[in-house]
Structures are given as C-alpha cells and as structure tokens.
Structure 1
Amino acid sequence: MTLTRTDPPHTPPRLRLLRERSVWIAAAGWLAGCAAVLAIAGDALPFDWPHDAHGTPGDRLVEFNTRLLEVLVLMGIVYWLTRRRPRPDLAARSPERAVALRETLGLLAYGAAGLGVGYVLARALGWHPFALHLAGSLYGTHDDVTPAEAVTWAVYNVVVYAAVPLLYFRRRYSSRELNLVSADRRGDAKVIAVILLIESAVQYLAMHPGTFDLGARQLALGLPLTFALYFAGAVLPAMVFIYCVLVPRFARLTGSTATTVILGGLTYAALHLWDAWTMFDSPAHAALSVLFLLATYFGPGMFKTWLTVRTGNAWVHVWAYHALAPHTLADTPLIARVFRLC
C-alpha cells in the first residue's frame, strides 16, 4: 500500500499510513464531527428518515462508525487482493501540476454550478433539488416522488456530471489517462466479484424494506428500472466526475494516495448536498445536515476512490460497489413505489 512517492519501499504500509498528516486530520475531523452531533442534536434528530425513524443520535453514530469500520475492512481486502499487482501511477495520467490544478478547480466550480442549477431547476418544477441521489434513496421518504421527477433527475445528472465532462476531457486525454480501461481484467474481475459478494450480503441484511419482499412482477420491472435510473443518475456521474477526472489530478497535486482517497471521499459527499432529508432552515439543522452527509457518504466515497487507486480502472467501483450493490438492491422498493409498481 504505497501511500506517498517518497516513502522507502521497505517501510511497512501501516507506518506509511501513520505518517500521513491528512490521515490524522481526517481522523480528528471524524471524531470532532461525532462530538458535534451529540452537542447539537440533543435527544433527537430533525430529519425525515422513514427507514431510521426511531434511532437516537447516539444510535446513528454507532451505526455510522460501524459502516466506517466496514469500509476500512473492505479497503484492507482490496489491498490484499491487489498486493501483487503493479501499482497504477495515477499521477502520471494527469497533466503537469499547473494544468492539473487549473482543471481541478475548474471542474469543482463546474460541479458546484451543477448543484446550484439543479436546485433552481428542480424547485421551479416543484420537485426535490437534484443531487447525486434521488429523493428517498437510502433513508426513504414520506414525500411524493413522481416518475417525471425520477427520470428528469437521472437525465440531468448524466448530462451535467458525466456527458459534458467526458466530452470535454476525452478530447484531451486518452481512455487510459481517464481510468477507463483495465490493465488486468482477470485481477479486476476478482476484486469486483469479492467486493460485490460481500456488499450484497451486507445490503441484504440491511434492507428496509427488503427488495426481495416484492412480488415477481415488481422485481421483474423494478430491478432493471432501478438499475437504469441509478446508473444514469448516480453511477456514471460519480464515475466520470470523480474517479475518471478528479482522482488522477488529486494524485498529481498531493503526491499522496491517502490524501487522494480522502479528497475523493469529501468530493463524493459534497455531490449529495441536496439529499431530500437535509435541512438548512437554521444553523443547527444546517450543521447537522452537513455532518450527516459526511457520515453517510465520506466512507463509501473513500472506498470507491481506493478501488480506483488500486486498480487504475474506474469501472471496478461501478460493478463492485455502486450500480448493483447498494443501489439496485437497496433502492428497488423506492422505484417500485415511484412508478406505482406496488
């Protein structure tokens, strides 16, 4: 697990990790966030979470720390599976530092503009603001989500965060430089199979309600429909925006795998800013919303980045830890309700 370019090759991976300032900052930030939740929230959270309606703030923190532990275990498994593979040099796939910085800042500003336009457009149509998740994902919702909203959300996201950036950067960089091709198909397939099996089991145990409690017709229609919507609305946007374009530039700018992984997690969390359950009607609610966005998405975002860093192939995270599990497995009941398949 080479974490910086300057570490001697004989240095044990855990020692290299402990020498990373970004790791200590991230760990301190996580602990500070947990303490802030307990200080701000009191006895209850303000969010509308039908799937987690009765948990206390302490219960939620235990759950999120358990999820983070799962992510760290999965990262260890991926390291073990890829330990004999040549390490992809993602920084070399990025342009020189000045260009990489300009492109990174430009893409982040573009992403922020995409969130802003998605907010205004969706609100103008009477819908939930467009972010990387459809309203009701993961936590459920009591709100009405229409088929028109779901389809427009998917089209908006795939155009803004996937098609436009890919068209722009593909004219300037090769498929390899954008992490779009595999250097070890058999190795990538092994990583995908192992992680998908583990995450599918985790999702099956955590389903609220269970996808496989649906009827045969609901499954026959709901599974492919959920896959298609989330592939367009969440999976491809995250893949192109973060793991094809930003991750190699993070690697170039930081010179650190650990910092690249952390920045990938933060960017992934930021793209979920308008999740339907978030509340920004008061400073306390805004602070809790940001803290729980980080608690929900920082770990998965780091793991998706880690998969890309270890394999050099952005498609690996798509099949191992995004398109099928969790989204198709977890969100089919939501899509069945949205499209009146129930």
Structure 2
Amino acid sequence: MSLFKSKTLWIVLGAVVVANLAVFTLADKAGVTDAATMAASADANLVVVALLIGVIWLLTRKRAGVDLGARAPQRRIAGREVAGVLGYAAAGQLVGAGLGRLLGEHPISFHLAGTLYGHQHVTPYEAYVWAGYNFVVYALLPWLYFRQRYTAEQLSLRSSNRRNDLLVILVVMVLESLNELGGLSDAVLHLSPSQLVKGVPTAFGLYFLGSALPTMVLVYSILLPRYRALTRSVPATVVLGGLTYALLHFFEAWTVLSSPAGAAVSIGLLLLQYTGPGMVKSVLTLRTGNAWVHVWAYHAVAPHTLVDTPHVVQIFNIK
C-alpha cells in the first residue's frame, strides 16, 4: 500500500517511539506528575486518531476535492506569512506565560490549567483572563489582519457542502464523545441537573473563546493552506498542522521546563498528547475545506464541554 511507503508516516512513527522513550526513561527524574499514565493514555488515543482519520476519509470520499493550497498566496508570500504567524504565536506564548506568572496565576497557554489533565486550583478571574487573552491574541487580531487581505473562502471559513459537513460533524462528534466518556473521564455524567444546566454553557463558552476559536483561526484557517502550498504534500500538511497545534500548548500548567529532564519529558508528552488530535483537525479541514468543521466535530463539544464541565463547575463553585 502507498500509505506504508510514505516517508512522513515513518517519521511520525519514529517520533512517537522517541517521545515514549524520553517519557518512560526520564519520568522519575523529571518530576512531571503522572507522566507514564499520560503517555500511555496518549499512545492509546493514537489508535483512535487513526480510526477517526479513516472515518473522515470514508465520509468525504464522494465529495469534490478541495485544493487548500490554492487558497494560499504564491509560495514566497506564503512562506513569509507562515514565518510571521509562527513568530507571532511564539511571542504570544511567551507573553502569556509571563503575564500569567505576573498575575500570580498559571502560565497562559492554549489550555486552561487543569484542563483534561491535572488538578490545579483555578479562580474565576484566571479563567476569564485566560479566555480573553487567547481570544484576542490568537483569534481576533490574526483574523482582523488576514481578513483585510483574503476572502472568507481563502481563509476556509465558508462551507462548500453543508450537508456533508453536517454529516462529518455529527459522526465525528458522536464517536469522539464516546471515546472521551469511555476512555478519559465520565465525571460529567455524575453532575447534578443544576450543575449541568449552569456548567455546560459556561464550559462551552469559556473553551470556545479560549481554545476552539484561537485554534481554528490561527492554525486551520491561516496556517494550514500555507503549509499545503509550501510542502505540496497532504501528509506533510497534516503533520505540520498537528505539530503546530501541539506546540501551542508549550506552557501547559503541568509542564516542567526548569530542568533538561523535565523539558524532555514535557515536550515528549506534548507531542504525544496533542499532535494526533491536531492531525485529525488537519484532516477535517483538508477534506472539507471548512475550518469550522473541526470546531464542532472535534473540539468545542468533545472533548472540552464533555470532559471539562466538572472542572468549570469547580472553578465557579456551581451548585
């Protein structure tokens, strides 16, 4: 099969092996809480990632192909824009980390402290600052800049097949919801009706502004078409989208970057946990040409609303 002849596939598999070796050999020295458990969970989820990518391909196999690279400018300009956006995102991560510490809170990264993994105490004030910072820095400002220069279609913000997009959203959302509830946490099922009524919309709104929209605009609306134009390779574009998504979580509250061992384990875990989901988001965008699809199918509802509503209930002391 041509799939197994892909150099990109073997590079990814090799990186997974190296990341696992770093985590399991340095975990005791690194001081990253539950490193082995997190790595094992991430490894298991890579199987789900592969299955979801297969499902997405099946659901979209009959629709007209989308040339995402054609939506980017000529390669020289695309390369300059990619460099600028990545530099801007790196600066945003550094400023967010410093701002969070300056305010006496956790570093501001793409996930609120305690999201998915960890049990950090978070105040309502910190949650608002996190969502507001990420929305303005990674969604609003980049969108305002690029919207002046490119159309909604060039930014993959318009559907070309609403019926198929809806089918993809529903199927992937249901499959990922079952995966999250069965494999990560079913705590949301144990909340009271009052907590669900108040907590679900609060969690949805918080993570929609602080995580889903920033990811959609920065990575899948702006960068992905340019990756496709520069690499002229679908597998490379999928992987670059996944890596970019992973590295935007660099200052997660659980990462330990104060020692070489801690940094190696933390980076290994970031790559294992987030590159796969980032690749699914890449495939969703490449196959549909609509950056919004991943928001509804594989981000705002599952995992964040399902898994993180109990965390939000705790933050806001919802009874």
Q: TM-score normalized by structure 2?
A: 0.97
CA distance, structure 1, for counterparts of residue 280 and residue 41 of structure 2? 17
Shift of 1:60: 4.3
1:291 equivalenced with 2:268 (yes/no): yes
Paired position in structure 2 for 1:251: 228
Which of 214, 231, 242 pairs up with 2:219?
242
Using the aligned pairs only, state the percent identity: 47
Which of 253, 257, 267 pairs up with 1:276?
253
Paired position in structure 2 for 1:21: 7
Q: CA RMSD in A?
A: 1.4
Which of 27, 36, 46 pairs up with 2:31?
46
Contact 1:218 1:341 in 2 (8 A): yes
Contact 2:30 2:259 in 1 (8 A): no
The secondary structure found in structure 2 opposite 1:223 is helix
Contact 1:214 1:333 in 2 (8 A): yes
Shift of 1:46: 2.6
Change (3 A) 1:207 1:299: closer
Pairs within 5 Å for 1:95-110:
95-110=73-88
Render the CA deviation track for 1:25-73: whole Å, top value 9, x for unaligned: 111111122122222225x87334xxxx5xx72x544422210010000
Which 10-residue stretch deviates more, 22-31 or 116-125? 22-31
Shift of 1:280: 1.1
CA distance, structure 2, for counterparts of residue 252 and residue 297 of structure 1? 23
The count of residues paired between Structure 1 and Structure 2 equals 319
Paired position in structure 2 for 1:33: 19
CA distance, structure 1, for counterparts of residue 39 and residue 301 of structure 2? 26
Shift of 1:209: 5.7
Contact 2:39 2:269 in 1 (8 A): no
1:90 equivalenced with 2:76 (yes/no): no
Contact 1:23 1:259 in 2 (8 A): no
Contact 1:140 1:334 in 2 (8 A): no
1:233 equivalenced with 2:237 (yes/no): no
In structure 2, give the amino acid aligned to 1:277. W
1:121 equivalenced with 2:99 (yes/no): yes
CA distance, structure 1, for counterparts of residue 213 and residue 38 of structure 2? 29
Paired position in structure 2 for 1:72: 50
Comparing both chains, which one has the higher relative contact order based on Cα–Cα distances under 8 Å and sequence gaps of 6 or more? Answer: 2
CA distance, structure 2, for counterparts of residue 104 and residue 20 of structure 1? 24
Q: Say which structure is richer in helix.
A: 2
CA distance, structure 1, for counterparts of residue 32 and residue 185 of structure 2? 17
CA distance, structure 2, for counterparts of residue 92 and residue 209 of structure 1? 42
Paired position in structure 2 for 1:331: 308
CA distance, structure 1, for counterparts of residue 24 and residue 206 of structure 2? 36
Pairs within 5 Å for 1:196-211:
196-208=173-185, 210-211=187-188
Shift of 1:18: 3.1
Q: Which runs of 5+ in 2 are unaligned?
A: none
The secondary structure found in structure 2 opposite 1:127 is coil
Contact 1:182 1:313 in 2 (8 A): yes
Q: Which runs of 5+ in 1 are unaligned?
A: 1-13
Q: TM-score normalized by structure 1?
A: 0.90
Which of 186, 193, 206 pairs up with 2:170?
193
Paired position in structure 2 for 1:11: none
In structure 1, give the amino acid aligned to 2:139. A
CA distance, structure 2, for counterparts of residue 208 and residue 190 of structure 1? 26
Shift of 1:85: 1.0
CA distance, structure 1, for counterparts of residue 227 and residue 186 of structure 2? 38
Shift of 1:97: 0.3
CA distance, structure 2, for counterparts of residue 113 and residue 303 of structure 1? 26
CA distance, structure 2, for counterparts of residue 219 and residue 65 of structure 1? 31
Paired position in structure 2 for 1:63: 41
Paired position in structure 2 for 1:8: none
Render the CA deviation track for 1:117-139: whole Å, top value 9, x for unaligned: 10111111001011100000001
Change (3 A) 1:45 1:218: farther
Shift of 1:183: 0.5
Contact 1:227 1:328 in 2 (8 A): yes
In structure 1, give the amino acid aligned to 2:207. Y
CA distance, structure 2, for counterparts of residue 193 and residue 69 of structure 1? 20
Shift of 1:161: 0.3
